[in-house]
Structure 1
Amino acid sequence: MPRTPEPDEDDLATTPPPPPVFHVEQALLGALLLEPHRLSEITGIGASSFSTAAHAALFGAIGSMPAPDPVEHATDASWLHEVLTVARRQARGLSPTYVHALVQVCKWPQHAAAYARIVEAEHARCRLAAAAHRLLHTAHDVSLPHRVTSVLAEAAAVAGVVDDVAARFPPHAGSLPRTPAPPTSAPHDAEAVDEELLLLATATAYPASVEQMRWLTADDFTDPLHADLWQCLSALTRRGVPVDPVTVLWEAQQRGVLGTRTPRELLGLLADSVGSPEHWGERVLQRSVLATAHRVGRRIESFTDDPATTPYQLVVGSRRALADLSAVRARWQHATAPPAPAKKPTPTRASAAARAGPPTTKPPAARIGR
């Protein structure tokens, strides 16, 4: 049973402490309240870069007002009150006490630019985390009519965020993230297993299609045995030997990939074909695109969840993760591209119609009557 706190017990101890960037934001705002002219040194951040609504409102208010005269500002607090009045329009809970506390907490206003750079780095992490979360959500949203198209659009959005972060924090050598990869175990999907079996059976019945389906690889299958059997089919078609359930069974035995299936079971599975190999192949590849998007989203999310990951490492690690998705996306686009229109045959010189020219024979001589 959950523990019931005592009436006089202070439950504030259960509130997690604010992250380090919260204190950096306080130092930056305090520096700008003390020396407003330092706002000209701040680049790369805006009100949305701050972690709380109160901090965002204060930064926006400071930027919307002209800086006071430094000499007058040292002895007159009217500019601070004006900032508070403007900021309260966005954050009504702000108080004069908190504004003065920010002024007191900042001991080094000359470090304002360094504080802003830290805020910018943390905001980049939050942006990338949000983009990765949207990619994960889209990969699992079964209500979307075109899931792969939506997933690839979100992946492009993630890549856009990564490029923007890279422009602000260019990666350098030795900036690989040290965050361990999250587990990639996937639940058993009976529908995926059935579709892979139908693909293998129809490809065995129509082996000519296998050579045209190079956009499908063994890594796209969810069952290791199915991946091995696809490699067997591909090897047989490349060698140009007859393909049927018996030859596939023999190839699987030669490769040692029969697994727990008995020969009779395997022959039965390969003989039950329905539909076309291309249809089932696209279904298998579609699942592979979605599964890869899930893994990429989880990987990038693990980078952003690790506070020790620097912006440079976020860029390098995210780009490497996205490369896996780019590879399967290229194969998906190749598989689903409409067939190219057949080119009209170019007439050769021999088949071209002869051009009309002058007669090569003389007209018959006129007959002279007797």
Structure 2
Amino acid sequence: MPHTPEPHEDDDLDRTPAPKPVHYAEQALLGALLLEPARLADTEPLIAHHFDSHTHAALFAAIYTLSPPDPADHAKDTAWLNTVLEQARPHAPGLNASYIHALIQFCPQPKHAAAYARMIRADNARRVLRGHAERLASTATDPGLPNPAASTLGMADDIGRVLDSLAEQFAPHPGPLPRTALPAEVPHEASEEDLAEERLLLATATAYPAEVQQMRWLAETDFLLPLHAALWQSIAALVHRGDMVDPVTVLGEAQHRGLLTDALTPKDVMALVSTPAGSPEHWGEKILQRALLARARTVAARIAAFADDPANTPHQLITGSRRALADLNSVRTRWHRATAPTLAPASRAQARPAPVPRAASPPHRPAPPVARAPR
């Protein structure tokens, strides 16, 4: 069956992209409703906002707003069709009577109106979910937000609510998970400031090991530099075993873990863990927040990939997106543990000769000669 163009479509077929399947579903549904207006009851809960085409949305809104005609009268004349056109034209100036009649001719089976409506709602679900994924990614990369972690997690909650709403609209059914090829982790360029924060964590954790015991919320995967992650594990291992912690014992643990190489000398390790500033929790929270935002960008890219894959059914789209959100929620749990207000233990004040504010800025000092390839 040939494609019926919309009134505003470009005649140059070489420059006009091929219509998506939903375009034909919208044409078929509108043709069914124009031919048999009573079929509108079969389309619920479809609304005009679900349509991809502005012209089609205006037509559906007019049909939805007007009272249906008497079937016998509708079969005899075009009075109701003319009223629909008059109602829709202010919102779609290019609409004309010939297109109304072309839609009627295009509809294969008016009795299949409910199936056409489901196709339209499914396509709208993809667009809505993709829009939310774009907002999640944008929020996670916005440097001007006063509380980027809270704003990003709020956007993730919005996606969760959208998925709950879609799950109510589309009945679940058995079937395979999405086979969409997932994009790789969104890379993060390791700036000198980022790497300085990781070095300061290592130094302050060595200086104040008692606080490391409360920082189980920080994982090695949160670090940009694998070396920093390995040294953090070395410090944490000493603390959890109850061993003494200072730059020399950290050097010994690093040696046992095989971290020393020609490029990383004992002097380099000592330099990394010997100049504390601030507190371990402060630097740990900054590292964890950066990891959370990076994970949010990756989750947004995966949800967008699911939405962009037309082979996914609504059920597959919902299931795949929920699994992607679960990856972010694992970091969210650790973030809440890190930032939850707690009473400082009495031993913490005794561990430090002088209190240092948590928000101290990293001092400017050269990095030791080690590789900086981000993880």
Aligned match of 1:27: 28
Aligned match of 2:271: 268
Aligned match of 2:4: none
Once the two structures are TM-superposed, the CA of residue 11 in structure 1 deviates from its matched residue by 4.8
Q: Does 1:300 align with 2:303?
A: yes
Q: Secondary structure at the match of 2:322?
A: helix
Aligned match of 1:114: 115
> Residue 161 and residue 200 in structure 1: after superposition, are their counterparts in 2 closer, same or farther (change >3 A)?
same
Which residue among 337, 342, 348 is the counterpart of 1:339?
A: 342
> Residue 170 and residue 234 in structure 1: after superposition, are their counterparts in 2 closer, same or farther (change >3 A)?
farther
Once the two structures are TM-superposed, the CA of residue 93 in structure 1 deviates from its matched residue by 1.5
Aligned match of 2:244: 242
Q: What is the root-mean-square deviation in Å for CA atoms of aligned residues?
A: 1.6
Once the two structures are TM-superposed, the CA of residue 324 in structure 1 deviates from its matched residue by 1.3
Q: Does 1:79 align with 2:91?
A: no
Aligned match of 2:189: 187
Q: Percent identity?
A: 54
Once the two structures are TM-superposed, the CA of residue 341 in structure 1 deviates from its matched residue by 9.8
> Residue 197 and residue 171 in structure 1: after superposition, are their counterparts in 2 closer, same or farther (change >3 A)?
farther
Q: Using the alignment, how far apart are the partners of 1:261 and 1:55 within structure 2? A: 66
Aligned match of 2:259: 257
Q: Using the alignment, how far apart are the partners of 1:82 and 1:179 within structure 2? A: 45
Q: Using the alignment, how far apart are the partners of 2:237 and 2:25 within structure 1? A: 60
Q: Deviations over 1:137-192 (max 9, x none)?
A: 10111111111111111010011111111112244444311111112233233221
Aligned match of 2:361: none
Q: Using the alignment, how far apart are the partners of 1:168 and 1:31 within structure 2? A: 22
Q: Using the alignment, how far apart are the partners of 2:275 and 2:153 within structure 1? A: 34
Aligned match of 1:206: 208
Counterpart of 2:199 in structure 1: which amino acid?
L
Q: Secondary structure at the match of 2:25?
A: helix
Once the two structures are TM-superposed, the CA of residue 264 in structure 1 deviates from its matched residue by 1.1
Given that 1:171 and 1:313 are in contact with CA atoms closer than 8 Å, whether structure 2 keeps it comes out as: no
Q: Secondary structure at the match of 1:14?
A: coil
Write the mapping of 1:97-246 to structure 2, written as runs, cut at 5 A.
97-184=98-185, 185-246=187-248
Q: Using the alignment, how far apart are the partners of 1:340 and 1:174 within structure 2? A: 49
Q: Using the alignment, how far apart are the partners of 2:41 and 2:110 within structure 1? A: 13
Q: Deviations over 1:28-76 (max 9, x none)?
A: 0000000000101111220000011100000000010111111211121
Q: Using the alignment, how far apart are the partners of 2:343 and 2:40 within structure 1? A: 58
Counterpart of 2:144 in structure 1: which amino acid?
S
**TM-score scaled by length of structure 2:** 0.86
Counterpart of 1:42 in structure 2: which amino acid?
T
Q: Secondary structure at the match of 1:326?
A: helix
Q: Using the alignment, how far apart are the partners of 2:276 and 2:250 within structure 1? A: 15
Once the two structures are TM-superposed, the CA of residue 258 in structure 1 deviates from its matched residue by 3.9
Identify which range, 177-186 or 201-210, moves more after superposition: 177-186
Aligned match of 2:328: 325
Q: Does 1:37 align with 2:38?
A: yes
Q: Deviations over 1:238-264 (max 9, x none)?
A: 110111122212212222234642221
> Between Structure 1 and Structure 2, whose CA radius of gyration is higher?
1
Q: Using the alignment, how far apart are the partners of 1:121 and 1:245 within structure 2? A: 59
**TM-score scaled by length of structure 1:** 0.87
Counterpart of 1:296 in structure 2: which amino acid?
V
Q: Using the alignment, how far apart are the partners of 2:60 and 2:343 within structure 1? A: 56
Q: Using the alignment, how far apart are the partners of 2:333 and 2:38 within structure 1? A: 51
> Residue 341 and residue 246 in structure 1: after superposition, are their counterparts in 2 closer, same or farther (change >3 A)?
closer
Q: Using the alignment, how far apart are the partners of 1:116 and 1:238 within structure 2? A: 60
Q: Using the alignment, how far apart are the partners of 2:202 and 2:171 within structure 1? A: 47
Q: Secondary structure at the match of 2:326?
A: helix
Q: Using the alignment, how far apart are the partners of 2:67 and 2:259 within structure 1? A: 75
Q: Deviations over 1:267-302 (max 9, x none)?
A: 111112111111101111110111111111011011
Q: Using the alignment, how far apart are the partners of 1:276 and 1:75 within structure 2? A: 83
Write the mapping of 1:44-83 to structure 2, written as runs, cut at 5 A.
44-83=45-84
Identify which range, 245-254 or 18-27, moves more after superposition: 245-254
Given that 1:225 and 1:258 are in contact with CA atoms closer than 8 Å, whether structure 2 keeps it comes out as: no
Q: Using the alignment, how far apart are the partners of 1:104 and 1:256 within structure 2? A: 75
Given that 1:171 and 1:316 are in contact with CA atoms closer than 8 Å, whether structure 2 keeps it comes out as: no
Q: Using the alignment, how far apart are the partners of 1:198 and 1:171 within structure 2? A: 49
Once the two structures are TM-superposed, the CA of residue 340 in structure 1 deviates from its matched residue by 5.2
Q: Secondary structure at the match of 1:212?
A: coil
Q: Using the alignment, how far apart are the partners of 2:155 and 2:317 within structure 1? A: 18
Q: Using the alignment, how far apart are the partners of 2:255 and 2:181 within structure 1? A: 37
Given that 1:36 and 1:67 are in contact with CA atoms closer than 8 Å, whether structure 2 keeps it comes out as: yes
Given that 1:175 and 1:316 are in contact with CA atoms closer than 8 Å, whether structure 2 keeps it comes out as: no
Given that 1:28 and 1:115 are in contact with CA atoms closer than 8 Å, whether structure 2 keeps it comes out as: yes
Q: Deviations over 1:66-95 (max 9, x none)?
A: 111112111211100000100112112211
> Residue 154 and residue 253 in structure 1: after superposition, are their counterparts in 2 closer, same or farther (change >3 A)?
same
